[in-house]
């Protein structure tokens, strides 16, 4: 199959291919392996289909128009055999070394480990932990593998740590969860954007063009962030709230919308429900109270409302900043309220959107690797959804397990009496990325059996009994759904090194060994065809999308219920996806973070990202150029705080919480609040930010509180300085 998609479908790329062929080279149009923007890129390879691979621009792809960030440009470096796994590894005894093994041995050992746990402790003692970077096909087949081959309820994925709060709020307000209800390009044409807890200058640099264009077109940009980030520096107005203050901030803005007569009464009456209760909640958040709760001056709140409401159209976009909290779902709900109350939703160039993080953060949450969900964004508790999916899978609906634990709860219960005893991790590195990571590491060690499928020997893979070397983005074909809800096709450009297998083939091999030989094809397009049927009629309906259409149309926006349907770039223009077609206000109130600073731990810690690294760094930390730009963790702090602590730039700081300690050099800047320190979380080891973070969960989404906890900061021991 892959050969068909080796080259692009556009005229330009055909020309390029012709030119390249003269040099015994071939090009393949595909997408970046990193974030949810899924920039189009073109890979040039030797005609033999082998490495080396060169990353080229692909200017005609609409989302990034050729632009790539440093991560994208250097993506091919991770394909080098030297930095990755090229053969399965097994560990013969606990505490022993990993040694090379054959695929047969590795898969047999995996099945033996899973079967032993199942026999001894029951089906739910075998678990699966997926990732938001997996293709739709892998995410789908992984969920099916859990429900049909393992018949376990214990399946979830690291997307819980990503945008699950926005997803929950989206469904509550609009009846459906698609990150952006409009294409990215609409951002440059709206009147005002409030960007909440998002730093695209570092996390998705090619997206920055839309915010720049917005301002060039006369629009205004408001950035909400406890740090004056490179993105905030572009803003017309920067609101710098305390970590954990975003919910109160949104309520305070809604309060001023009411006070200053900016309600869109007509929109509220025609297209929404629940306004009275939401307004009452906002009335409890008057400006002086919100100032006290958020640290944002009342006058700045008023300026933001004036700026937002004086533009004819407006958008609110959130990212992990407001979402990764134990109140993340309510926080996003409050920002959606602001859009609904001002009529900035359900019409062109206006609306709420979530800037999803992981490469397939959107698609990965739609097709069944979530504990409570079946393909097509169906609920696993809905009898009709169970019947539909069971019919596609050819099983009895009664055989499908019910909802399982959310990601952190699943990890927290590993090795415990009622927890998972044998775990398959695919495309995730929780040793670095999970909250309270030292504890999670301990739980992983407490497993009877751990198998990790990953292209590289990640920190999590190092703990495994069996490590399965996975193929990567340029070596396999599959679809991803970007932050816009645009379904895209990554195309295979090169062969994986010998000894490496595609995850679909791994699942196929495991299912066969578990006695379920049918229903687990290794061919991605075959899996996608089944996914189309399984998603048909669901909220995330892919029924009308095919590989051929994606190639011909630069992606297709779901929902797309049939092949004649054009796809849906802009949602909600006529109605919202709720039963009555109206968007629902959320009656939410401020509440404190799960852990607020006190005498013992007097400062806030917030965590985030830097431009040179991606997520847990499993890929990017293997690229020399990126490591030069972003060599390691650091602790960002205000000069006033540094002065009090008597610490200078570069000196080692210990950041401690009730859960653990991280050590990293100081980076002194007045871009951060004096009551807050910041650490990027891309690294393991001593500088692991997630040693410190709080696993308090959002009651609706299961999102941990990565973005705020209480810490003490002090000079690391003198010997560490030497």
Partner 1 sequence: MRAARTPSGGAVAVVGAGMAAARFAERFHALGGRGEVTLYGAEPAAPYNRVLLADVLTGRYGAESLTLPYGTAVARTGREVTAVDPGARVLRLADGTSAAYDALLLATGAEPVLPPVRGLYGPDGSPREGVHVFRTLGDCRRLAAAAAAAERAVVIGGGVLGVSAARALAVPGRGPGGLPVEIVHQAPHLAERHLDAQAAALLRHGLAALGVAVSAGSRARALRGTGRVTGVELASGRVLDADLVVLACGVRPRTGLARAAGLPVRTGIVVDDTLACAPGVYAVGDCAEHRGTAYGTALAAWDQADVLAARLSGAAPGAVYSGSRPLARLTAGPLEYAAFGETGGEGPGLDVLRLADATRGAYRKLVLRGDRLVGGILLGDPAAACALSRAYERDDPLPVDPLSLLITRGASR
Q: Report yes or no: 352 and 336 within 8 Å, Cβ to Cβ.
A: yes
Whole-number Å distance between alpha carbons of 679 and 671:
13
CB of 237 to partner 1, least distance (A): 8
Whole-number Å distance between alpha carbons of 655 and 417:
33
289 binds partner 1, rule: CB under 8 A: yes
Decide whether 65 or 302 has the Cβ nearer to partner 1: 302
Residue from 4, 644, 685, 721 touching partner 1 (CB under 8 A): that is 644
Decide whether 89 or 239 has the Cβ nearer to partner 1: 239
Decide whether 120 or 644 has the Cβ nearer to partner 1: 644
**Binding segment (CB under 8 A) for partner 1, from list 292-300, 411-419, 435-443, 653-661:** 292-300
Q: Report yes or no: 109 and 423 within 8 Å, Cβ to Cβ.
A: no
**Binding segment (CB under 8 A) for partner 1, from list 154-162, 187-195, 297-305, 336-344:** 297-305
User: Widest CA span of the chain, in angstroms?
Assistant: 70
Whole-number Å distance between alpha carbons of 157 and 160:
6
CB of 586 to partner 1, least distance (A): 12
292 binds partner 1, rule: CB under 8 A: yes
Sign of the C-alpha dihedral computed for residues 252, 255, 260 and 262 taken in this order: positive
Binders of partner 1 in range 622-641 (CB under 8 A): 640
Decide whether 172 or 279 has the Cβ nearer to partner 1: 279
Residue from 239, 426, 434, 504 touching partner 1 (CB under 8 A): that is 239
Whole-number Å distance between alpha carbons of 66 and 490:
16
**Binding segment (CB under 8 A) for partner 1, from list 112-120, 130-138, 310-318, 671-679:** 671-679
Q: Report yes or no: 550 and 482 within 8 Å, Cβ to Cβ.
A: no
Kindly write out the interface string for residues 532-571 of this chain, putting x where it contacts partner 1 by CB under 8 A and - elsewhere.
----------------------------------------
Residue from 287, 333, 364, 419 touching partner 1 (CB under 8 A): that is 287
Decide whether 582 or 673 has the Cβ nearer to partner 1: 673
608 binds partner 1, rule: CB under 8 A: no
**Binding segment (CB under 8 A) for partner 1, from list 408-416, 584-592, 622-630, 689-697:** 584-592
Residue from 283, 384, 391, 720 touching partner 1 (CB under 8 A): that is 283
CA 115, 142, 123: angle at the middle one, nearest 5?
Answer: 30
Side-chain-side CA neighbours of 332 within 13 Å: the count stands at 34
**Binding segment (CB under 8 A) for partner 1, from list 73-81, 103-111, 161-169, 233-241:** 233-241
Q: Which two tokens stand for residue 682?
A: 């891309």
296 binds partner 1, rule: CB under 8 A: yes
CB of 285 to partner 1, least distance (A): 10
Q: Report yes or no: 450 and 464 within 8 Å, Cβ to Cβ.
A: yes
Whole-number Å distance between alpha carbons of 508 and 137:
12
How many C-beta neighbours within 10 Å does residue 553 have?
A: 15
Alpha helices in 437-578 (DSSP H): 437-445, 503-513, 524-535, 547-553
How many C-beta neighbours within 10 Å does residue 112 have?
A: 14
CB of 264 to partner 1, least distance (A): 15
DSSP collapsed to 3 states, 110-125: HHHHHHHHHHHHCHHH
Decide whether 62 or 643 has the Cβ nearer to partner 1: 643
Decide whether 569 or 674 has the Cβ nearer to partner 1: 674
CB of 640 to partner 1, least distance (A): 4
Residue from 277, 387, 717, 720 touching partner 1 (CB under 8 A): that is 277
269 binds partner 1, rule: CB under 8 A: no
260 binds partner 1, rule: CB under 8 A: yes
Whole-number Å distance between alpha carbons of 409 and 443:
11
CB of 334 to partner 1, least distance (A): 13
Kindly write out the interface string for residues 444-463 of this chain, putting x where it contacts partner 1 by CB under 8 A and - elsewhere.
--------------------
Alpha helices in 95-175 (DSSP H): 103-121, 136-144, 164-174
121 binds partner 1, rule: CB under 8 A: no
**Binding segment (CB under 8 A) for partner 1, from list 298-306, 345-353, 487-495, 703-711:** 298-306
238 binds partner 1, rule: CB under 8 A: yes
Residue from 13, 64, 110, 300 touching partner 1 (CB under 8 A): that is 300
Decide whether 240 or 615 has the Cβ nearer to partner 1: 240
Decide whether 125 or 222 has the Cβ nearer to partner 1: 222
Q: Which of 193, 162, 161, 166 is nearest to 177 (CA)?
A: 166
How many C-beta neighbours within 10 Å does residue 416 have?
A: 11
Cβ neighbours of residue 337 closer than 8 Å, sequence gap 6 or more = 250, 251, 254, 278, 282, 585, 586, 588
Decide whether 47 or 288 has the Cβ nearer to partner 1: 288
Residue from 113, 244, 295, 559 touching partner 1 (CB under 8 A): that is 295
Decide whether 2 or 273 has the Cβ nearer to partner 1: 273
Side-chain-side CA neighbours of 394 within 13 Å: the count stands at 7
Backbone angles phi, psi at 15, to 5 degrees: -65, -45
Instruction: Give whole-number Cα distances, 199 to 257, 307, 566, 592, 638, in Å.
Output: 26, 20, 32, 24, 19
Alpha helices in 488-607 (DSSP H): 503-513, 524-535, 547-553
Backbone angles phi, psi at 469, to 5 degrees: -75, 120
Binders of partner 1 in range 587-606 (CB under 8 A): 587, 589, 591, 597
Q: Report yes or no: 507 and 141 within 8 Å, Cβ to Cβ.
A: yes
274 binds partner 1, rule: CB under 8 A: no
Decide whether 102 or 310 has the Cβ nearer to partner 1: 310
Decide whether 116 or 258 has the Cβ nearer to partner 1: 258
Q: Is 60 exposed, middle or buried (0-12, 13-18, 19+ CB in 10 A)?
A: middle
Whole-number Å distance between alpha carbons of 9 and 4:
10
Distance, C-alpha 375 to centroid of its chain = 18
Residue from 203, 240, 350, 613 touching partner 1 (CB under 8 A): that is 240
Instruction: Give whole-number Cα distances, 249 to 165, 209, 674, in Å.
Output: 17, 27, 19
Q: Which two tokens stand for residue 638?
A: 């205000």
254 binds partner 1, rule: CB under 8 A: no
Q: Which two tokens stand for residue 90?
A: 């097994």
Decide whether 73 or 289 has the Cβ nearer to partner 1: 289
Decide whether 212 or 644 has the Cβ nearer to partner 1: 644
Q: Report yes or no: 712 and 334 within 8 Å, Cβ to Cβ.
A: no
286 binds partner 1, rule: CB under 8 A: yes
Instruction: Give whole-number Cα distances, 253 to 225, 266, 280, in Å.
Output: 15, 20, 13
Q: Report yes or no: 459 and 440 within 8 Å, Cβ to Cβ.
A: no
Peptide bond into 559 cis (omega under 30): yes
Decide whether 9 or 589 has the Cβ nearer to partner 1: 589
687 binds partner 1, rule: CB under 8 A: no
Residue from 49, 70, 297, 519 touching partner 1 (CB under 8 A): that is 297
Residue from 58, 147, 220, 279 touching partner 1 (CB under 8 A): that is 279
299 binds partner 1, rule: CB under 8 A: yes
Decide whether 228 or 712 has the Cβ nearer to partner 1: 228
Decide whether 643 or 650 has the Cβ nearer to partner 1: 643
Distance, C-alpha 559 to centroid of its chain = 20
- Contact residues toward partner 1 (CB under 8 A) are 228, 238-240, 258-260, 276-277, 279-281, 283-284, 286-289, 291-292, 295-300, 587, 589, 591, 597, 640, 643-644, 673-675
């Amino acid at each position: 199959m892959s050969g068909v998609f080796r080259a692009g479908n556009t005229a330009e790329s055909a020309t390029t291919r012709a030119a390249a062929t003269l040099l015994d080279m071939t090009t393949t149009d595909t997408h970046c392996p990193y974030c949810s923007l899924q920039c189009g890129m073109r890979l040039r390879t030797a005609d033999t289909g082998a490495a080396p691979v060169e990353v080229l621009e692909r200017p005609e792809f609409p989302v990034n128009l050729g632009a790539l960030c440093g991560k994208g440009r250097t993506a091919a470096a991770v394909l080098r055999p030297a930095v990755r796994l090229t053969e399965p590894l097994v560990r013969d005894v606990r505490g022993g070394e990993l040694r090379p093994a054959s695929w047969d041995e590795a898969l047999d050992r995996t099945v033996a480990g899973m079967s032993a746990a199942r026999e001894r402790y029951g089906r739910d003692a075998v678990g699966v932990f997926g990732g938001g970077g997996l293709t739709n096909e892998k995410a789908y087949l992984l969920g099916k593998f859990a429900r049909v081959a393992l018949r376990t309820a214990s399946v979830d994925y690291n997307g819980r740590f990503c945008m699950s709060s926005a997803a929950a709020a989206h469904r509550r307000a609009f009846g459906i969860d698609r990150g952006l209800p409009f294409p990215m390009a609409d951002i440059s044409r709206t009147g005002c954007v409030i960007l909440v807890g998002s730093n695209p200058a570092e996390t998705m640099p090619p997206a920055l063009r839309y915010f720049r264009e917005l301002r060039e077109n006369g629009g205004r940009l408001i950035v909400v962030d406890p740090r004056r980030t490179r993105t905030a520096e572009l803003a017309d107005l920067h609101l710098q709230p305390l970590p954990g203050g975003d919910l109160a901030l949104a309520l305070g803005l809604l309060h001023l919308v009411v006070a200053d007569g900016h309600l869109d009464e007509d929109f509220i009456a025609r297209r929404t429900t629940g306004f009275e209760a939401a307004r009452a909640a906002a009335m409890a958040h008057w400006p002086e109270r919100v100032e006290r709760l958020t640290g944002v001056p009342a006058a700045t709140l008023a300026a933001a409302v004036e700026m937002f409401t004086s533009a004819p159209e407006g958008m609110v976009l959130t990212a992990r900043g407001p979402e990764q909290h134990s109140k993340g779902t309510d926080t996003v709900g409050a920002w959606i309220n602001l859009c609904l109350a001002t009529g900035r939703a359900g019409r062109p160039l206006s609306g709420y959107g979530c800037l999803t993080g992981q490469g397939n953060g959107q698609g990965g949450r739609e097709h069944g690797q979530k504990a409570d969900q079946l393909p097509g964004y169906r609920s696993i508790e809905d009898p009709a959804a169970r019947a539909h999916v069971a019919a596609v899978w050819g099983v009895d609906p009664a055989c499908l397990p019910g909802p399982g634990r959310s990601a952190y709860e699943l990890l927290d219960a590993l090795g415990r009496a009622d927890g998972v005893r044998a775990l398959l991790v695919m495309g995730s590195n929780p040793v670095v990325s999970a909250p309270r990571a030292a504890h999670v590491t301990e739980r992983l060690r407490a497993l009877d059996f751990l198998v990790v499928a990953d292209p590289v020997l990640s920190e999590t893979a190092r703990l495994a009994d069996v490590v399965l070397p996975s193929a990567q983005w340029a070596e396999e074909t599959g679809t991803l759904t970007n932050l816009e809800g645009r379904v895209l096709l990554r195309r295979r450009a090169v062969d994986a090194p010998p000894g490496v297998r595609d995850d679909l083939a791994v699942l196929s091999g495991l299912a066969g060994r578990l006695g379920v030989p049918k229903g687990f094809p290794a061919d991605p397009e075959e899996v996608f065809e089944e996914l189309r049927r399984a998603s048909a009629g669901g909220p995330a309906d892919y029924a009308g999308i095919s590989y051929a259409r994606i190639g011909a149309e630069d992606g297709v926006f779901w929902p797309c219920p049939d092949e004649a349907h054009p796809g849906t770039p802009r949602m909600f223009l006529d109605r919202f996806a709720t039963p009555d077609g109206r968007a629902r206000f959320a009656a939410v109130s401020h509440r404190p973070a799960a852990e607020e600073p006190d005498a013992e731990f007097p400062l806030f810690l917030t965590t985030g990202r830097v431009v040179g690294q991606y997520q847990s760094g499993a890929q990017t930390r293997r690229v020399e150029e990126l490591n030069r730009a972003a060599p390691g963790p650091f602790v960002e702090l205000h000069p006033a705080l540094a002065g009090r602590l008597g610490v200078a730039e570069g000196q080692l700081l210990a950041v401690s919480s009730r859960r653990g300690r991280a050590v990293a050099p100081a980076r002194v800047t007045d871009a951060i609040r004096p009551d807050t320190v910041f650490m990027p979380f891309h690294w393991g080891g001593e500088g692991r930010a997630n040693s410190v973070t709080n696993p308090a969960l959002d009651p609706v989404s299961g999102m941990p509180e990565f973005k705020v906890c209480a810490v003490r900061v002090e000079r690391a021991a003198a010997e560490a300085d030497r």
